[in-house]
């Protein structure tokens, strides 16, 4: 099959000048080894310098170039044009306010991410002079896959709960909270639990699993959240049935 050109149908919106979004069509050359991101870069470099979108690493590490490709949340640097039909529709990530063209506003996610304290909280009083806090390979394996998250927000775009409940903390942030909760070096569970175990936390998830399907890094946010429910439920029952315990 030889294709000379393909068409990109691109979502355009400039809130300063446009009343409403519109779709613009670009005919571009077809290259077998081009990613959708390469196609967008061709448009930007040769056809329309006003097209706005985020990208950086071009290798599925930075998490900047997530967009809807034919309606599915995808990293444009991980999707080859050869895998699509002759016309490819590109839109900004769903469930986020659009800043301009294919760029979405990530403020909501950023504040939610910070609120679950996604870093090691070490409250034991071992001085640094005692050296490293060692971890066995088994202890690493417990949380290893969840460290793969690159905050690309594809999971938020895919999540039907996030689209229904704006306050839902959402897949990536809850996964990172879980990643630290199950880290043997961490003592921060109770600090995070106030958010993670709230109605806006793991309990808002109804286990649709779309987050795990779209994750470009093979992280399984749905599993992290279900494991988080078990931990959170155990904490809840211990707190209410054994109030004298220090849980």
Partner 1 sequence: MSSHKPVFWALFAAGGTLSALLAPVLIFLIGFAVPLNLIDPEALGFARVSGALATISIALTMLVIIVLFLWHAAHRLRVTAHDLGWFPDSVAVVLFYGLAAAGSVASGWLLIGTT
For 117, the token pair is 């304290």
Q: Which is nearer to partner 1, 120 or 164 (CB)?
A: 164
Q: Are 17 and 41 in contact (CB under 8 A)?
A: no
Q: Is 245 helix (H, G, I), strand (E, B) or coil?
A: coil
Determine the Cα–Cα distance for residues 215 and 211; give it in Å rounded to an integer: 6
Interior angle at CA 212, CA 57 and CA 54, nearest 5: 25
Q: Please identify which residue in 106, 135, 145, 198 interacts with partner 1, judged by CB under 8 A.
A: 198
Q: Which is nearer to partner 1, 157 or 161 (CB)?
A: 161
Q: Which is nearer to partner 1, 176 or 196 (CB)?
A: 196
Q: Please identify which residue in 193, 215, 227, 228 interacts with partner 1, judged by CB under 8 A.
A: 193
Query: How near is the Cβ of 158 to partner 1 at its closest, in Å?
Result: 14
Q: Please identify which residue in 192, 194, 218, 242 interacts with partner 1, judged by CB under 8 A.
A: 194
Does 160 engage in binding with partner 1 (CB under 8 A)? yes
Does 232 engage in binding with partner 1 (CB under 8 A)? yes
Reported as type and span, the H/E element at residue 24 is strand 22-29
Interior angle at CA 157, CA 77 and CA 53, nearest 5: 45
Q: Which span sits near partner 1 by CB under 8 A: 41-49, 145-153, 211-219, 235-243? A: 235-243
Q: Please identify which residue in 164, 167, 184, 242 interacts with partner 1, judged by CB under 8 A.
A: 164
Does 236 engage in binding with partner 1 (CB under 8 A)? yes
Q: Which span sits near partner 1 by CB under 8 A: 75-83, 88-96, 101-109, 160-168? A: 160-168
Determine the Cα–Cα distance for residues 71 and 103; give it in Å rounded to an integer: 16
Determine the Cα–Cα distance for residues 21 and 184; give it in Å rounded to an integer: 48
Does 167 engage in binding with partner 1 (CB under 8 A)? no
Query: How near is the Cβ of 191 to partner 1 at its closest, in Å?
Result: 13
Q: Which span sits near partner 1 by CB under 8 A: 80-88, 92-100, 209-217, 236-244? A: 236-244
Quickly tell me which residue has 């599993």 as its tokens.
Answer: 223
Torsion sign (Cα): 193, 237, 222, 141: positive
For 213, the token pair is 């399907």
Q: Which is nearer to partner 1, 40 or 169 (CB)?
A: 169
Does 242 engage in binding with partner 1 (CB under 8 A)? no
Determine the Cα–Cα distance for residues 38 and 158; give it in Å rounded to an integer: 24
Determine the Cα–Cα distance for residues 133 and 175; give it in Å rounded to an integer: 23
Q: Which residues contact partner 1 by CB under 8 A?
A: 160-161, 164, 193-194, 197-199, 201, 203, 206, 229, 232-233, 236-237, 239
């Amino acid at each position: 099959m030889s294709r000379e050109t393909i068409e990109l149908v691109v979502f355009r919106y400039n809130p300063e000048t446009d009343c409403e979004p519109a779709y613009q069509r670009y005919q571009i050359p077809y290259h077998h080894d081009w990613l959708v991101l390469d196609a967008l870069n061709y448009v930007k470099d040769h056809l329309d310098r006003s097209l706005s979108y985020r990208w950086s690493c071009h290798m599925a590490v930075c998490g900047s170039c997530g967009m809807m490709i034919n309606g599915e949340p995808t990293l444009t640097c991980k999707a080859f044009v050869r895998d699509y039909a002759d016309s490819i529709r590109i839109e900004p990530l769903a469930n986020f306010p659009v800043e301009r063209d294919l760029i979405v506003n990530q403020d909501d996610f950023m504040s939610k991410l910070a609120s679950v304290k996604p870093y090691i909280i070490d409250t034991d009083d071992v001085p640094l002079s005692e050296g490293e806090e060692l971890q066995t390979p088994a202890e690493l394996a417990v949380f290893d896959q969840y460290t793969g998250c690159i905050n690309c927000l594809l999971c938020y775009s895919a999540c039907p709960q996030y689209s229904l409940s704006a306050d839902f903390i959402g897949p990536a942030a809850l996964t990172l909270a879980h990643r630290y909760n199950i880290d043997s070096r961490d003592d921060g569970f109770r600090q995070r639990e106030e958010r993670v175990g709230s109605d806006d936390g793991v309990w808002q998830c109804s286990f649709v699993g779309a987050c795990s399907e779209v994750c470009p890094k093979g992280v399984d946010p749905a599993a992290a959240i279900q494991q988080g429910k078990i931990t959170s439920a155990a904490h809840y029952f211990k707190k209410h049935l054994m109030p004298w315990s220090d849980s």
